[in-house]
Amino acid sequence: MKSEISRDEVRSAIEDKLCAYFGVTIEKATDDQVFQASAMVIREIMSRLLAIEESRRGDREVHYMSMEFLMGRSLIKNAFNLGISEALTGALEDMGRSAADIFEAENDAGLGNGGLGRLAACYMDSMASLGIPATGYSICYELGIFRQKIQDGKQTEVADDWRKSAESWLIPRNEDAVEIRFGGQISPRWDYFGRYHAEHTGYTTVTAVPRDMLIAGFGGKTVNTLRLWDARSTSALDMYLFSEGEYVKSMEQRTMSEVITKVLYPADDHIEGKILRLKQQYFFVSATVQTIVKKHMERYGDIRSFAKHHVIQINDTHPTLVIPELMRIFMDEYDMDWDEAWEIVTAAVAYTNHTVMSEALEKWPQELVQKLLPRVWEILCEINRRWCDYLVSKFGNSEKVGRNLIIRNGQVHMANLCLAACFKVNGVSGLHGEILKNDLFRDINELRPERFTYVTNGIDHRRWLSQINPRLHGLAAELLGSEDFLTRPEELIRLADFAQEPRVQKRVLEIKQLNKADFAEFALRNDGFVLNTDAIMDVQVKRLHEYKRQLLCAMLITRLQMQIHDKPNAEFKPRTFVFGAKAAAGYRTAKRIIELICSLAKDVNGDPLCKDKLQVYFMENYRVSAAEALMPAAQVSQQISTAGKEASGTGNMKLMLNGAVTIGTLDGANVEMYERLGDRNMFLFGLRTEEVIALKERGYNPLSIAEKDPELMEVLNRFSSGFSDGKSYSDLVSDLLYKGDPYMLIADYRDYVSTHDRLYSAISNENELARLSLMNTAESGIFAADRAIKEYAESIWNIKL
DSSP result, 656-691: HHTTPEEEE-S-TTHHHHHHHHHHHH-EE-S--HHH
Per-residue pLDDT averaged across 210-227, rounded? 94
Which of 546, 788, 745 is CA-nearest to residue 653?
Answer: 788
Instruction: Tell me what pLDDT residue 13 has.
Output: 94
Q: What is the pLDDT at residue 418?
A: 98
- 192/250: higher pLDDT: 192
Instruction: Give, as one character, the DSSP assignment of residue 203.
Output: -
Q: How high is the pLDDT of residue 240?
A: 61
Q: What is the mean pLDDT of residues 185-195?
A: 86
Of the pLDDT bands very low, low, confident and very high (cuts 50, 70, 90), residue 792 is: very high
pLDDT exceeds 90 at position 263: no
Rounded-to-integer distance, Cα 452 and Cα 440, Å = 12
Active-site residue, from 437, 507, 542, 756: 542
Q: Which residue blocks in 301-413 are alpha helix, DSSP H?
A: 306-309, 322-328, 338-348, 366-372, 374-395, 399-403
DSSP 186-199: EEEEE-TTS-EEEE
Please answer whether residues 716 and 556 qualify as being in contact, where contact means their C-beta atoms are separated by less than 8 angstroms: no
135 is catalytic: no
pLDDT band at 55 (very low <50, low <70, confident <90, very high): low
Query: Does the active-site annotation cover 328?
Result: no
Per the annotation, the verdict on 63 as an active-site residue is no
- Give tens-digit pLDDT for 20-40: 999 999 999 999 999 999 999
CA 202 to chain centre: 38
- Name the DSSP letter for residue 632: G
- Catalytic residue flag (residue 197): no
Residues 566-591, mean pLDDT to the nearest whole number: 96
Please say if the pLDDT value at position 436 is more than 60.
yes
Choose the catalytic residue: 11, 211, 654, 718. Answer: 654
Q: Find, among 65, 134, 61, the residue nearest to 313 by Cα.
A: 65
Residue 242: pLDDT band with limits 50, 70, 90 = low
Q: Which of 543, 575, 727, 756 is catalytic?
A: 543
Q: Which of 461, 462, 507, 548 is catalytic?
A: 548
Query: In the predicted model, is pLDDT for residue 269 greater than 90?
Result: no
Tell me what pLDDT residue 3 has. 62
Residue 245 confidence (pLDDT) above 80:
no
- pLDDT on residue 247: 56
**Total residue length of the chain:** 801
> Does the pLDDT value for residue 359 go beyond 90?
no
Name which of 46, 48, 116 is nearest 81 in CA terms. 46
Q: Find the catalytic residue in 354, 363, 512, 549.
A: 354
Does the annotation mark 727 as catalytic? no
CB 3 within 8 A of CB 220: yes
Distance, CA of 666 to CA of 59 (rounded, Å) = 42
* 432 is known as an active-site residue: no
Amino acid at 724: S
Measure CA 65 to chain center: 13
State the average pLDDT over residues 589-612: 98
* 469-493 residue pLDDT tens: 999 999 999 999 999 999 999 999 9
CB contact at 8 A, 322 and 312: yes
Report which secondary-structure segment, H or E, holds 541: strand 536-541
Sign of CA dihedral 586, 590, 596, 599: negative
